[in-house]
């Protein structure tokens, strides 16, 4: 399900992998798998830290892959994406 282009993440939506893991009460390894499988973050290089998108993480946690596809396409004004942005208290 990974896209060829990286997920663009505004600075106020970036979570480090440990914070992401704590937020969803899953292991760091699970969040890494979600990152690899669903493309919910970015990594500048092989040894660079993984940065996770807070709304993308929430979407995967809730199994809302349609919303994730909308987010990846840059449709931050779609109802599905806005629902998560509002839930997380993030700007549209």
> Do the domain assignments include residue 2?
no
Query: What is the C-alpha separation between 72 and 56, in angstroms, rounded?
Result: 9
Q: What is the pLDDT of residues 47-68, one digit of tens each?
A: 999 999 999 999 999 999 999 9
Give pLDDT < 50 ranges for the chain. Answer: 1-4
**Is position 42 within any domain?**
yes
Q: In the 8-state DSSP scheme, what is residue 2?
A: -
User: Residue 54 domain-assigned?
Assistant: yes
d(CA 1, CA 27): 21
25 within domain boundaries: yes
State the pLDDT at residue 28. 97
Pairing of strands 51-53, 14-16: antiparallel
Identify the three-state secondary structure at position 30.
helix
Please report whether residue 35 resides in a domain: yes
**What CATH code is carried by the domain that includes residue 50?**
1.10.1660
pLDDT recorded at residue 6:
72
Output the pTM of the full model: 0.91
Q: Total structural domains in the chain?
A: 1
């Amino acid at each position: 399900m990974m896209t060829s282009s990286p997920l663009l993440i505004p600075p106020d939506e970036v979570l480090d992998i440990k914070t992401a893991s704590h937020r969803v009460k899953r292991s760091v390894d699970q969040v890494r798998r979600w990152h690899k499988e669903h493309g919910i973050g970015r990594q500048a290089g092989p040894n660079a830290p993984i940065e996770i998108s807070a709304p993308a993480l929430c979407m995967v946690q809730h199994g809302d892959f349609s919303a994730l596809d909308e987010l990846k396409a840059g449709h931050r004004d779609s109802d599905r994406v806005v629902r998560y942005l509002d839930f997380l208290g993030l700007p549209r």
